[in-house]
């Protein structure tokens, strides 16, 4: 008897709450039906449908075309080292100012920026990043080449690497490309 009384005491509030909940659901259902019948709601719905029918996809198509064009150098089938004598290994986490600085310098020596992988493992995110960088002025090729990172044990960003037939020089740290090339030249003079 004591157990039955205890269960009634514990369950009773939930039963009352369930009853209140059912009343609330009925009330909301009735409000929704009234809303669907209201003239102002029907007019707003018609306006919304009319706007969506006039929606112009040409802007979206143009933006997608620009993203594709700006990222085209990234999907080269040839090995990065065969195409560019100087590469800068960089991360999308680096500030835009650093991307711009290296872009301007690499343009003069026909170099490229190399990234290891896709941001958030997404080609869409990759294309968006490239598009934003292009809009801000980064004009050099950006290559997606994780094998080059592995081959040269690149662990730090930025790393500048000079690639020639018989020699590879590299230096890590946020230094200018010009200074890195000076250091490489000095190393050649004094091996």
Neighbours of 171 (CB within 10 A): 17
User: Tens of pLDDT along 60-107?
Assistant: 667 666 655 555 454 444 455 457 889 999 999 999 999 999 999 999
Domain ranges for the chain: 81-189
- Contact between residue 117 and residue 127 where contact means Cβ atoms under 8 Å apart: no
Residue 5 has pLDDT above 50, yes or no: no
Q: Where are the beta strands (DSSP E) in 6-83?
A: none
Residue 37 has pLDDT above 50, yes or no: yes
The pLDDT, as a whole number, for residue 3 is 46
- Between the alpha carbon of residue 62 and those of residues 14, 69, 103, 128, the distances in Å are 57, 10, 25, 14
User: Tens of pLDDT along 113-160?
Assistant: 999 988 888 888 888 899 899 999 999 999 888 888 888 899 998 999
The pLDDT, as a whole number, for residue 77 is 42
* 168 or 64, which is more confident: 168
The C-alpha atoms of residue 121 and residue 9 are separated, in whole angstroms, by 54
pTM more than 0.85: no
- Would you state the CATH architecture of domain 81-189? 3-Layer(aba) Sandwich (3.40)
Residue 189 has pLDDT above 50, yes or no: yes
């Amino acid at each position: 008897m004591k157990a039955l009384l205890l269960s009634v005491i514990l369950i009773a509030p939930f039963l009352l709450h369930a009853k209140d909940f059912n009343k609330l659901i009925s009330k909301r259902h009735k409000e929704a039906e009234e809303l669907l019948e209201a003239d102002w709601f029907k007019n707003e719905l018609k306006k919304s449908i009319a706007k969506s029918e006039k929606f112009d996809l040409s802007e979206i198509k143009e933006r997608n075309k620009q993203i594709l064009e700006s990222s085209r150098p990234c999907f080269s089938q040839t090995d990065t080292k065969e195409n560019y004598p100087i590469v800068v290994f960089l991360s999308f986490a680096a500030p835009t100012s650093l991307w711009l600085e290296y872009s301007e310098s690499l343009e003069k020596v026909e170099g490229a920026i190399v990234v290891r992988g896709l941001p958030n493992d997404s080609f869409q995110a990759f294309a968006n990043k490239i598009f934003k960088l292009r809009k801000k002025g980064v004009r050099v090729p950006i290559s997606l080449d994780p094998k080059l990172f592995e081959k040269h044990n690149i662990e730090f960003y930025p790393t500048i690497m000079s690639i020639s037939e018989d020699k590879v020089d590299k230096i890590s740290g946020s230094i200018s490309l010009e200074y890195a090339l000076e250091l490489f030249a000095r190393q050649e003079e004094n091996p």
